[in-house]
Amino acid sequence: MNRDNVEYFAAVVGAGPAGLFAARELVNAGIHATLFNRDIRPGGLAEYGIYPKKHKMKEVLRVQFRQALEMACIDYYGNVTVGNQADLTLDQLRQLGFQAIMVTAGAQGTKWLKLPGEDLRGVYHAKDLVYHYNGLPPYSEQEFEIGRHVAIVGVGNVMTDIARYLIEEKHVESVTAIARRGPGEIKFERKELGYVAANLDIKGVDEEIERAAPLMWSLGENPDRPKEFIHTVYDKAVPTDSKTRFMVRFLLSPTRILGDADGRVRALEVEENTLICENGDIKASGTGRRRIIDMDTVIFAIGDSVDEQLGLPVDRFEFVKNPQPRFEIEGNSYEAFDPETGRLIEDVFLSGWARRASTGLVGIARKDGIQGARAMIQYIQTLPKPEESPLPKIEAWMHSLGKPLVSKQDLIRLECVECEQASKLEQEEFRFTRNEEMLAAIRRLA
Ligand SMILES: Cc1cc2nc3c(=O)[nH]c(=O)nc-3n(C[C@H](O)[C@H](O)[C@H](O)COP(=O)(O)OP(=O)(O)OC[C@H]3O[C@@H](n4cnc5c(N)ncnc54)[C@H](O)[C@@H]3O)c2cc1C
Ligand SMILES: NC(=O)c1ccc[n+]([C@@H]2O[C@H](COP(=O)([O-])OP(=O)(O)OC[C@H]3O[C@@H](n4cnc5c(N)ncnc54)[C@H](OP(=O)(O)O)[C@@H]3O)[C@@H](O)[C@H]2O)c1
């Protein structure tokens, strides 16, 4: 399909895996897709979340993203944020002539637990640190005061990524992962544990599982299962130079972060939990007993919220979805909804982590982008075809914003300069970590 025979025009907010695959699907259905991406570079967390040493995986994904962007009927505006008080609002996108908007902006908000002491120096949210060590501006330039003893709240794959960074790059003395539930509810996977298993205090973990065992048996859980899972990975772990002691503690919920006279973290107060079974789900329930664990850094790896500034209703960390979708796909609703008016936001669709915050791997986001696009295609096909293309007006409007915009051609220029730099430095890879540097590199070849 070429640009002259498109029949409809859609905006896609965000160019992570969900946005890029949604755009490709739209184009295959005869719909022109314009991507608006906050970051200069596309890829989202596939570029700026996946652990930096996973070079091969990142490069395979970059090739797929490049292929999508090469499609003639996909336009790209990088360095453009959509939202209230941003470069463009959702209403402005409508006024520009887009017939529907696919929001795939990921989960960019912070899930605060509203605990006393969250504002102390040394308290961080995993996403910010992940963005920092992956070189995403402006986080790349932000300072993270990492101490010697770090608590990570949460036991998912993001926790293991953060632990890996602290073990391999920061060589801290201890990393303690804190789980609110028991050993039966760990969420990290075998492969991800493998990267940090050599540093595990295996005796300490065994004691923790032993402590939780009576409770687990009482709920029909077998403590030998998580024990065996952890031991299998531990037994195969490749020895490491780092002396960091990595520990996992169960059945604890943070209740307060304590600071010193300089406003820096000195300890984490936690409440001991028991487990209860409610409608088949194992849940943590506080016992009222509290204890203090000495720590100088606390990192929350408990998932993220969507961005409230985007301009869509949010409930419990996620954008609200239409409970009775018009275009349901595999039982999912991809449609934005306003619970206050009880009305559908009929031209806005959601997919990827913008639909289900902090859920699933790249492959899941990709599938969700495609399915969200399929729901949106059904909606668009109910609309009259526009008499003329809105693209010239959109382009003029974008240039009137008076800020550097990044096009598909600019991305190629950026890659050329970075490749050149990598070979000059004899490195496998080189990537700029400041927007000014990226824009200057693009200008150099423009
Ligand atoms: C630390 C970490 C490590 C991970 N490691 C792996 C792994 O090893 N393997 C794996 O398969 N999966 C991994 N994942 C999961 C994977 O990254 C996600 O499943 C996937 O990236 C989600 O895709 P998405 O497109 O929905 O959102 P994102 O990838 O978050 O993309 C969102 C895009 O929207 C843009 N955006 C945000 N706000 C706006 C706005 N207001 N206006 C315009 N654009 C906006 C951003 O610039 C970004 O490009 C990891 C996730 C994390 C957090
Ligand atoms: N290498 C990889 O493949 C990779 C790397 C990173 C991320 N990812 C993917 O990205 C997604 C997000 O990962 P994630 O680790 O952020 O999420 P996750 O797997 O859902 O883990 C979140 C952890 O935070 C805990 N938590 C949530 N709310 C909490 C609260 N209020 N108090 C205390 N603890 C709380 C959860 O405990 P409960 O279980 O009790 O809720 C859980 O242990 C996942 O699908 C993951 O697989 C993949």
HSE toward the beta carbon, residue 122, CA cutoff 13 A: 22
pLDDT for the residue numbered 7: 86
Q: How close is the Cα of 139 to the center of ligand 2, in Å? A: 21
Q: How close is the Cα of 49 to the center of ligand 1, in Å? A: 7
Domain count, the chain: 2
Q: How far is CA 140 from CA 16, 248, 367, 435, in A?
A: 19, 29, 30, 10
Domain annotation covers residue 422: no
Domain of 12, CATH number, reads: 3.40.50.720
Indicate whether 28 and 46 sit together in one domain: yes
Q: Is 158 in the pocket of ligand 2 (CB under 6 A)?
A: yes
Q: Is 255 in the pocket of ligand 2 (CB under 6 A)?
A: no
Q: Are 183 and 177 within 8 A, CB to CB?
A: no
Query: What stretch of H or E contains 26?
Result: helix 17-28
pLDDT band at 255 (very low <50, low <70, confident <90, very high): very high
Closest C-alpha to ligand 2, atom 33: 180
Mutate to test the pocket of ligand 1, among 20, 36, 39, 50 (most ligand atoms within 8 A of CB): 50
Task: Answer yes or no: is pLDDT of 6 > 90.
Answer: no
195 alpha-carbon distance from chain centroid? 20
Indicate whether 133 and 280 sit together in one domain: yes
Query: What stretch of H or E contains 177?
Result: strand 174-178
Q: Is 263 in the pocket of ligand 2 (CB under 6 A)?
A: no
Domain annotation covers residue 413: no
Answer positive or negative: Cα dihedral of 194, 196, 199, 201: negative
Mutate to test the pocket of ligand 2, among 61, 118, 133, 180 (most ligand atoms within 8 A of CB): 180
The amino acid occupying position 215 is L
Mutate to test the pocket of ligand 1, among 362, 398, 405 (most ligand atoms within 8 A of CB): 362
Q: Give phi and psi for 257, each to the nearest 5.
A: -115, 130
Domain annotation covers residue 69: yes
Q: How close is the Cα of 306 to the center of ligand 2, in Å? A: 15
CA-nearest of 46, 19, 37, 48 to 76 is 37
pLDDT for the residue numbered 428: 86
Task: Answer yes or no: is pLDDT of 266 > 90.
Answer: yes
Domain annotation covers residue 282: yes
The residue among 265, 300, 335 that closes a domain is 300
pLDDT band at 131 (very low <50, low <70, confident <90, very high): very high
The pairing of strands 174-178 and 149-153 is: parallel
Indicate whether 327 and 292 sit together in one domain: no
Domain annotation covers residue 421: no
**Partners of residue 250 on adjacent β-strands:** none
Indicate whether 133 and 195 sit together in one domain: yes
Indicate whether 154 and 270 sit together in one domain: yes
Closest C-alpha to ligand 1, atom 17: 45
Task: Answer yes or no: is pLDDT of 1 > 80.
Answer: no
Indicate whether 19 and 99 sit together in one domain: yes
Indicate whether 399 and 375 sit together in one domain: yes
Closest C-alpha to ligand 1, atom 21: 45
Q: Structural domain of residue 327, as residue ranges?
A: 3-108+305-406
Indicate whether 263 and 194 sit together in one domain: yes
Token code pair at residue 224: 């030998």
Q: How close is the Cα of 218 to the center of ligand 2, in Å? A: 25
Closest atom of ligand 2 to 126 CA is 16
Indicate whether 72 and 150 sit together in one domain: no
Q: Is 161 in the pocket of ligand 2 (CB under 6 A)?
A: yes
pLDDT for the residue numbered 206: 98
Q: What is the pTM of this model?
A: 0.97
Instruction: Calculate the dihedral angle through the C-alpha atoms of 385, 388, 390, 396, rounding to the nearest 10 degrees.
Output: 180
pLDDT for the residue numbered 311: 97
The residue among 300, 333, 352 that closes a domain is 300
Domain annotation covers residue 445: no
Q: Are 396 and 24 within 8 A, CB to CB?
A: no
Measured in residues, the chain has a length of: 446
Condensed to tens digits (0 to 9), the pLDDT of residues 12-36 reads 999 999 999 999 999 999 999 999 9
Indicate whether 182 and 290 sit together in one domain: yes
Closest atom of ligand 2 to 159 CA is 15
Q: How close is the Cα of 340 to the center of ligand 1, in Å? A: 29
The residue among 260, 281, 300 that closes a domain is 300
Indicate whether 278 and 381 sit together in one domain: no
Place of tokens 């495609």: 370
Ligand nearest to the CA of 183: 2
Condensed to tens digits (0 to 9), the pLDDT of residues 305-360 reads 999 999 999 999 999 999 999 999 999 999 999 999 999 999 999 999 999 999 99
Cβ neighbour number for residue 126 with a 10 Å cutoff: 24
Domain annotation covers residue 97: yes
Closest atom of ligand 2 to 181 CA is 40
Domain of 134, CATH number, reads: 3.50.50.60
Domain annotation covers residue 441: no
Pocket of ligand 1 (CB under 6 A): 13-19, 36-39, 44-46, 49-50, 54, 81-83, 104-106, 108, 130, 158, 161, 307, 310, 352-354, 360-362, 365
Condensed to tens digits (0 to 9), the pLDDT of residues 52-84 reads 999 999 999 999 999 999 999 999 999 999 999
Indicate whether 275 and 374 sit together in one domain: no
